[in-house]
Amino acid sequence: MSVEKIVEKILSDARAEAQQMLESARSQAAQIREQAQLEAQRQRELILARAQQEAQSRRRAQLAAATAAARNAVLEAKRTVLAKVFEHVAERLATMPAPEYKSWLLRLLVESSETGDEEVILSPGDRQTLGETLVREANAQLEQRGKKGALRLSLETRNFERGFVLKGRNSEINVTLETLLRRAQEELEIEVARMLFEEESAGGR
Protein backbone atom coordinates (compact mmCIF):
# COMPACT_ATOMS: atom_id res chain seq x y z
CA MET A 1 0.00 0.00 0.00
CA SER A 2 1.34 3.46 -0.85
CA VAL A 3 2.19 6.17 1.65
CA GLU A 4 -0.82 8.09 0.33
CA LYS A 5 -3.10 5.30 1.53
CA ILE A 6 -1.39 5.29 4.91
CA VAL A 7 -2.00 9.03 5.14
CA GLU A 8 -5.64 8.38 4.28
CA LYS A 9 -5.89 6.01 7.26
CA ILE A 10 -4.73 8.78 9.58
CA LEU A 11 -7.10 11.19 7.86
CA SER A 12 -10.06 8.90 8.47
CA ASP A 13 -9.27 8.95 12.21
CA ALA A 14 -8.99 12.73 12.21
CA ARG A 15 -12.07 13.50 10.08
CA ALA A 16 -14.62 12.52 12.73
CA GLU A 17 -13.11 14.77 15.35
CA ALA A 18 -12.55 17.54 12.84
CA GLN A 19 -16.21 17.38 11.80
CA GLN A 20 -17.37 17.82 15.40
CA MET A 21 -15.06 20.78 15.91
CA LEU A 22 -16.15 22.29 12.59
CA GLU A 23 -19.76 22.28 13.78
CA SER A 24 -18.68 24.54 16.66
CA ALA A 25 -16.69 26.71 14.26
CA ARG A 26 -19.68 27.05 11.93
CA SER A 27 -21.92 28.08 14.84
CA GLN A 28 -19.40 30.68 15.96
CA ALA A 29 -19.07 32.07 12.47
CA ALA A 30 -22.87 32.21 12.05
CA GLN A 31 -23.23 34.19 15.27
CA ILE A 32 -20.56 36.64 14.17
CA ARG A 33 -22.27 37.07 10.80
CA GLU A 34 -25.64 37.65 12.46
CA GLN A 35 -24.27 40.18 14.94
CA ALA A 36 -22.37 41.99 12.23
CA GLN A 37 -25.44 42.16 10.00
CA LEU A 38 -27.54 43.51 12.87
CA GLU A 39 -24.94 46.16 13.60
CA ALA A 40 -24.74 47.05 9.93
CA GLN A 41 -28.52 47.43 9.81
CA ARG A 42 -28.51 49.62 12.92
CA GLN A 43 -25.80 51.81 11.46
CA ARG A 44 -27.70 52.01 8.20
CA GLU A 45 -30.84 53.27 9.95
CA LEU A 46 -28.90 55.91 11.86
CA ILE A 47 -27.16 57.10 8.76
CA LEU A 48 -30.40 57.19 6.76
CA ALA A 49 -31.62 59.84 9.16
CA ARG A 50 -28.82 62.14 7.94
CA ALA A 51 -28.52 61.45 4.25
CA GLN A 52 -29.52 58.63 1.93
CA GLN A 53 -26.44 58.85 -0.22
CA GLU A 54 -24.06 58.81 2.72
CA ALA A 55 -26.01 55.93 4.23
CA GLN A 56 -25.52 53.76 1.17
CA SER A 57 -21.80 54.37 1.19
CA ARG A 58 -21.50 53.64 4.91
CA ARG A 59 -23.71 50.58 4.63
CA ARG A 60 -21.46 49.09 1.98
CA ALA A 61 -18.45 49.74 4.20
CA GLN A 62 -20.17 48.19 7.21
CA LEU A 63 -21.24 45.11 5.27
CA ALA A 64 -17.74 44.73 3.85
CA ALA A 65 -16.30 44.94 7.37
CA ALA A 66 -18.85 42.42 8.64
CA THR A 67 -18.03 40.01 5.82
CA ALA A 68 -14.31 40.32 6.52
CA ALA A 69 -14.85 39.77 10.26
CA ALA A 70 -16.93 36.66 9.63
CA ARG A 71 -14.39 35.28 7.17
CA ASN A 72 -11.55 35.89 9.62
CA ALA A 73 -13.50 34.16 12.37
CA VAL A 74 -14.04 31.11 10.18
CA LEU A 75 -10.38 30.97 9.21
CA GLU A 76 -9.29 31.27 12.82
CA ALA A 77 -11.75 28.57 13.83
CA LYS A 78 -10.35 26.34 11.09
CA ARG A 79 -6.81 26.83 12.39
CA THR A 80 -7.95 26.00 15.91
CA VAL A 81 -9.75 22.88 14.72
CA LEU A 82 -6.76 21.59 12.80
CA ALA A 83 -4.34 22.33 15.62
CA LYS A 84 -6.50 20.50 18.17
CA VAL A 85 -7.16 17.53 15.92
CA PHE A 86 -3.53 16.93 15.09
CA GLU A 87 -2.35 17.64 18.61
CA HIS A 88 -4.72 14.89 19.74
CA VAL A 89 -3.68 12.47 16.97
CA ALA A 90 0.04 13.10 17.54
CA GLU A 91 -0.32 12.59 21.27
CA ARG A 92 -2.31 9.38 20.81
CA LEU A 93 0.18 7.92 18.35
CA ALA A 94 3.21 9.04 20.36
CA THR A 95 1.94 7.42 23.56
CA MET A 96 0.75 4.09 22.18
CA PRO A 97 1.58 1.15 24.43
CA ALA A 98 4.53 -0.92 23.21
CA PRO A 99 2.47 -3.87 21.83
CA GLU A 100 0.10 -1.53 20.00
CA TYR A 101 3.01 0.49 18.63
CA LYS A 102 4.72 -2.64 17.36
CA SER A 103 1.52 -3.76 15.59
CA TRP A 104 1.09 -0.30 14.06
CA LEU A 105 4.71 -0.26 12.91
CA LEU A 106 4.47 -3.79 11.49
CA ARG A 107 1.31 -2.96 9.52
CA LEU A 108 2.86 0.20 8.07
CA LEU A 109 6.03 -1.66 7.17
CA VAL A 110 4.19 -4.41 5.29
CA GLU A 111 1.87 -1.96 3.53
CA SER A 112 4.67 0.48 2.60
CA SER A 113 7.10 -2.05 1.12
CA GLU A 114 7.13 -1.81 -2.66
CA THR A 115 9.77 -4.38 -3.61
CA GLY A 116 9.99 -6.50 -0.47
CA ASP A 117 13.78 -6.19 -0.27
CA GLU A 118 14.32 -2.67 1.03
CA GLU A 119 16.48 -1.69 3.99
CA VAL A 120 14.52 -0.73 7.09
CA ILE A 121 15.98 2.29 8.91
CA LEU A 122 14.68 2.77 12.46
CA SER A 123 15.37 5.12 15.33
CA PRO A 124 18.14 3.95 17.68
CA GLY A 125 15.61 2.92 20.34
CA ASP A 126 13.32 1.05 17.97
CA ARG A 127 16.24 -0.70 16.30
CA GLN A 128 17.44 -2.00 19.62
CA THR A 129 14.07 -3.13 21.00
CA LEU A 130 12.12 -4.09 17.87
CA GLY A 131 14.49 -4.25 14.91
CA GLU A 132 15.17 -7.91 14.18
CA THR A 133 11.77 -9.14 15.33
CA LEU A 134 9.94 -6.45 13.38
CA VAL A 135 11.75 -7.19 10.11
CA ARG A 136 11.36 -10.95 10.52
CA GLU A 137 7.61 -10.69 11.12
CA ALA A 138 7.21 -8.22 8.26
CA ASN A 139 8.97 -10.60 5.87
CA ALA A 140 6.71 -13.44 6.99
CA GLN A 141 3.60 -11.35 6.31
CA LEU A 142 4.91 -10.23 2.93
CA GLU A 143 5.45 -13.85 1.93
CA GLN A 144 1.93 -14.74 3.10
CA ARG A 145 0.67 -12.09 0.69
CA GLY A 146 2.65 -13.65 -2.14
CA LYS A 147 5.29 -10.94 -2.14
CA LYS A 148 9.03 -11.03 -1.76
CA GLY A 149 9.95 -11.15 1.92
CA ALA A 150 13.54 -9.98 1.96
CA LEU A 151 13.47 -6.78 4.00
CA ARG A 152 16.78 -6.08 5.76
CA LEU A 153 17.40 -4.24 9.01
CA SER A 154 19.77 -1.39 8.23
CA LEU A 155 22.84 -0.74 10.36
CA GLU A 156 21.98 2.93 9.96
CA THR A 157 19.71 4.68 12.46
CA ARG A 158 18.14 8.14 12.27
CA ASN A 159 16.87 10.57 14.86
CA PHE A 160 13.08 10.54 14.60
CA GLU A 161 10.54 9.70 17.26
CA ARG A 162 8.49 6.92 15.69
CA GLY A 163 8.15 5.20 12.35
CA PHE A 164 10.81 4.19 9.85
CA VAL A 165 12.42 4.90 6.49
CA LEU A 166 12.40 2.29 3.74
CA LYS A 167 15.56 2.58 1.65
CA GLY A 168 15.43 1.03 -1.80
CA ARG A 169 18.08 0.90 -4.47
CA ASN A 170 17.23 4.30 -5.91
CA SER A 171 14.71 5.80 -3.52
CA GLU A 172 13.60 6.25 0.06
CA ILE A 173 10.08 6.14 1.51
CA ASN A 174 9.70 8.23 4.66
CA VAL A 175 7.09 6.65 6.94
CA THR A 176 8.01 8.48 10.13
CA LEU A 177 5.24 9.72 12.38
CA GLU A 178 6.26 13.34 11.83
CA THR A 179 6.05 13.02 8.05
CA LEU A 180 2.75 11.11 8.11
CA LEU A 181 1.12 13.71 10.35
CA ARG A 182 2.44 16.62 8.27
CA ARG A 183 1.10 15.12 5.04
CA ALA A 184 -2.21 14.25 6.68
CA GLN A 185 -2.54 17.78 8.04
CA GLU A 186 -1.85 19.28 4.62
CA GLU A 187 -4.52 17.01 3.13
CA LEU A 188 -7.04 17.91 5.83
CA GLU A 189 -6.31 21.64 5.57
CA ILE A 190 -7.21 21.49 1.88
CA GLU A 191 -10.34 19.47 2.65
CA VAL A 192 -11.54 21.81 5.42
CA ALA A 193 -10.78 24.90 3.36
CA ARG A 194 -12.86 23.48 0.51
CA MET A 195 -15.76 22.75 2.87
CA LEU A 196 -15.67 26.28 4.28
CA PHE A 197 -15.43 27.83 0.81
CA GLU A 198 -18.47 25.85 -0.33
CA GLU A 199 -20.43 26.97 2.73
CA GLU A 200 -19.51 30.63 2.20
CA SER A 201 -20.48 30.41 -1.47
CA ALA A 202 -23.82 28.85 -0.57
CA GLY A 203 -24.43 31.50 2.06
CA GLY A 204 -23.66 34.29 -0.36
CA ARG A 205 -26.24 33.18 -2.92
Alpha helix segments (H runs only) across the chain:
3-48, 52-94, 98-112, 124-129, 131-144, 177-204
| Each residue's pLDDT tens digit, 11-63 | 676 666 667 666 776 777 677 777 777 777 777 776 666 656 665 666 677 77
Q: What's the chain's average pLDDT? A: 79
User: Is pLDDT at 107 greater than 90 in this prediction?
Assistant: yes
Looking at residue 150, its pLDDT comes to: 94
Q: What percent of the chain has pLDDT over 70?
A: 67
Q: Which pTM does this prediction carry?
A: 0.58
154 backbone dihedrals φ, ψ, rounded to 5°: -75, 145
In angstroms, the Cα distances linking 18 to 24, 29, 60, 197, 201 are 10, 16, 35, 16, 21
Spatial separation of the C-alpha atoms in residues 179 and 118, rounded to whole Å:
19
Higher pLDDT, 87 or 141: 141
Q: In a 10 Å sphere around its CB, with 0-12 CB exposed, 13-18 middle and 19+ buried, how is residue 159 labelled?
A: exposed
Q: How many residues does the chain have?
A: 205
